[in-house]
Structure 1
């Protein structure tokens, strides 16, 4: 990646808590992919405790839980997104894509005004 790029971050706050941001959205996606809070945390390079605390914060900030965990047993337990969790994940990703698309011209213009930059670029949108 070039030295200059634009990174747009959006956070939804509830009181002093970050209810949702890019890291928590990535965690939701990892839980959906792995079916486990622990595995999602490992995938993202964080401890189970950190991942669990982030899930707890999200669950307490929204009207309904975004993630439900099931204790072990014959099935081995795990976690999954609730319909609300899936909706939040999709809405956030869609919103970020639209923000990036709508501001692309402004981003390019501002990047060109930065010093010591040969070819500024925008990060690719894969979500």
Structure 2
């Protein structure tokens, strides 16, 4: 099962995480991985997110190259058609990111409320 992203709210922390020198993971890559898991296709995921296919492919390739094992596996077309799927590592990555995002948002409630109030203040004329 593909983890579901948190419900959108008025204000939300969506972190970018740098793992060593070669891997960065943020909301864009996680949303893309989630869509690949749902659609079983990089091109369908890219279309759904409004991202050019080449950009989506490069983002996935950067993750596949950064980790010791791929996060997405692809199959070329043919009789059964092509496709893509999240590997166990890809599923674990989405799950871990979602847990981090949830925890950050829970722990930062007070600060997020202050930021929300600041955004709602009327601007002086």
Q: TM-score range by the shorter chain?
A: 0.7 to 0.9
Which residue in the other structure is 2:43 paired with? 38
Looking at structure 1, the residues matched to 41 and 87 of structure 2 have their Cα atoms a distance apart, in angstroms, of: 13
- TM-score, normalised relative to structure 2: 0.80
Out of 61, 65, 82, the residue aligned to residue 66 of structure 2 is 61
Do the aligned partners of 1:66 and 1:85 also contact (CA within 8 Å) in 2?
A: yes
Question: What runs of 5+ residues in structure 2 fail to find an aligned partner?
Answer: 1-9
Do the aligned partners of 1:19 and 1:62 also contact (CA within 8 Å) in 2?
A: no
Q: CA RMSD in A?
A: 1.8
Paired residues, what number? 112
Which residue in the other structure is 1:124 paired with? none
Matched, 1:111 2:106: no
Looking at structure 2, the residues matched to 60 and 19 of structure 1 have their Cα atoms a distance apart, in angstroms, of: 12
Looking at structure 1, the residues matched to 64 and 70 of structure 2 have their Cα atoms a distance apart, in angstroms, of: 4
Looking at structure 1, the residues matched to 99 and 106 of structure 2 have their Cα atoms a distance apart, in angstroms, of: 11
Do the aligned partners of 2:12 and 2:105 also contact (CA within 8 Å) in 1?
A: no
